[in-house]
Structure 1
């Protein structure tokens, strides 16, 4: 176990090195992450605005989310400009114009007497206008399909000191297995395996089947309780609860290890899975899990 954690830490350091030195992002990744950032921004603002009616402290928390959302959107936009060979310094022009518009709007709003409930919605609309719409326009920039001073569009792993990509696990282009075979691997043969790799189709089947399996677990639990009620066998109740929790934990752990193997398939450390509970950052992990293709670590190309 300690060897696995050490290996994951080395791979994590390699991932961070690569992110810092290859500052490009293509259209597919840009579109997915920008949409994810926008909806996280939308939902977080809506939730915090409702809570702030009763708890004034949440009014200030919303600005923390705004700063995170703005910072990540700007960084994403910078990488999109780099993909086309443009300097990220162009964002200063965008930022200056946006700041003037935002400051003028805030001044006019606060100049009026009272603070209406529509204030939050109005602010949100102006933020969409000056932040997310210009960022979305960057999607139309073409990508340079070659190496430029910001990195290589075809290279993900560029650090030469520690090459850990689970190369011992062979990956095939074709999905030659059926759904039942994938389910068998996920929930039986590889349910406790943290090392190795898993393709996108496996992650999709694993997460897609999670609700069905959990539903079956609940039905089994209800059936056992019904038998206990009809037959009066008291021992069935603790047995039913034990079976329910064992299957529940087993199913979640199987999907958890599957997602770690999926991160390995995109040459990422399984430790990134911890960011799934962090707003905004989880969008990046979702992209790695369900959008990014498999990587051939010998040629460092997506397949």
Structure 2
């Protein structure tokens, strides 16, 4: 059993196969549990994304509900606040552990007590107020998290401890079985230097062939720009095609059927194309394709966005610990 496990790890690291998504998902979760450190840039973006989720979640929730009562409004408000506070707290703890300075812990505790004492967090009901008309629905939270969020953002100013400590490996290093991988967060300047429109040609060849159904490759953060450009070009070509058909076939009764057929094919292509890009970007950040489902789960989607847009590409480290 142990030999099989090591074979899976080597296959994934050597990029020969990435087909056991469940094994990769377990590896991702294990990495989150083992290492409680989070560096400055991921921490900063996480705080911002969670804060916007806290603001937007009530409106998104009620827009999806046909009917709701005052008790439901209050429950969603408390749940949204509780989840947000929990995530903020976990992020702050992980950032403090990454800095590895004890005095920062005391500073955060004192700041938190002061925030509660000055009642910036107003827990008096109703926490969530909803007003709506025939054309719009507006939700507002009675709890003011602005001061607290500003305090949490200050933690992103402290530099990380570059060495291993009791709470995890050094920056950008993750353990996979008995092996180590490095995930770098930089490299955008290099992408700008190497940027070329000629690189979209191979992408066209892939997405217009059966290679569209191949999800085992990798796409870096920079390459997402090329794939987005290809998508926009395809949309432009579709618009030109529909306009041309509308002009040429205006007198043919089958025009409407042709248009529906072409648009349906394009929508199917878009779904497969976007799914392929998301999976390959997740694999590039050493994450399981199962994280795609997290895009539909509140607050989990914040972490998935981080995996897709922020977390860098991984590379194998020969030495092990």
Q: TM-score range by the shorter chain?
A: 0.7 to 0.9
Query: Unpaired runs of 5+ in structure 1?
Result: 166-172
Specify the SS of the correspondent of 2:78. Answer: helix
Corresponding position: 1:289 with 2:302: no
Among 67, 76, 82, the alignment partner of 2:91 is 76
Among 166, 182, 201, the alignment partner of 2:222 is 201
- Shift of residue 19, structure 1, vs aligned partner: 0.6
2:78 aligns with 63
TM-score normalised to structure 1 length: 0.77
- Shift of residue 86, structure 1, vs aligned partner: 4.3
Report matched runs for 1:187-198 at 5 Å: 187-188=207-208, 190-198=211-219
- Shift of residue 9, structure 1, vs aligned partner: 0.4
CA deviations over 1:207-227 (Å, ceiling 9, x no partner): 354345335424423432443
Give the distance between the partners of 1:36 and 1:264, measured in 2 at CA. Answer: 22
Higher helix share: 1
Change (3 A) 1:46 1:101: farther
Change (3 A) 1:68 1:214: farther
Corresponding position: 1:223 with 2:244: yes
Are the equivalent residues in 2 in contact too, given 1:48–1:59 (CA < 8 A)? no
For structure 1, which segment, 7-16 or 47-56, has the greater mean C-alpha deviation from structure 2 after superposition? Answer: 47-56
Change (3 A) 1:283 1:122: closer
- Shift of residue 245, structure 1, vs aligned partner: 1.0
For structure 1, which segment, 251-260 or 149-158, has the greater mean C-alpha deviation from structure 2 after superposition? Answer: 149-158
Give the distance between the partners of 2:228 and 2:77, measured in 1 at CA. Answer: 31
Change (3 A) 1:46 1:143: same
Specify the SS of the correspondent of 1:151. Answer: coil
Are the equivalent residues in 2 in contact too, given 1:186–1:254 (CA < 8 A)? no
CA deviations over 1:160-215 (Å, ceiling 9, x no partner): 169899xxxxxxx8758634235325523542111121111222322354345335
CA deviations over 1:132-179 (Å, ceiling 9, x no partner): 1221111111110110111123344313169899xxxxxxx8758634
Give the distance between the partners of 1:163 and 1:225, measured in 2 at CA. Answer: 57
2:234 aligns with 213
Change (3 A) 1:30 1:40: same
- Shift of residue 295, structure 1, vs aligned partner: 1.2
Change (3 A) 1:282 1:104: closer
Corresponding position: 1:267 with 2:286: yes
CA deviations over 1:26-51 (Å, ceiling 9, x no partner): 11111111111111112224556899
Change (3 A) 1:159 1:179: closer
- Shift of residue 6, structure 1, vs aligned partner: 6.1
Change (3 A) 1:209 1:180: closer
1:255 aligns with 274
Are the equivalent residues in 2 in contact too, given 1:187–1:251 (CA < 8 A)? no
Give the distance between the partners of 2:298 and 2:236, measured in 1 at CA. Answer: 28
Specify the SS of the correspondent of 2:213. Answer: coil
1:132 aligns with 149
Report matched runs for 1:1-303 at 5 Å: 7-45=20-58, 55-56=69-70, 57-86=72-101, 94-102=111-119, 105-106=122-123, 123-124=142-143, 126-129=144-147, 131-160=148-177, 175=194, 178-181=198-201, 183-184=203-204, 187-188=207-208, 190-229=211-250, 232-298=251-317
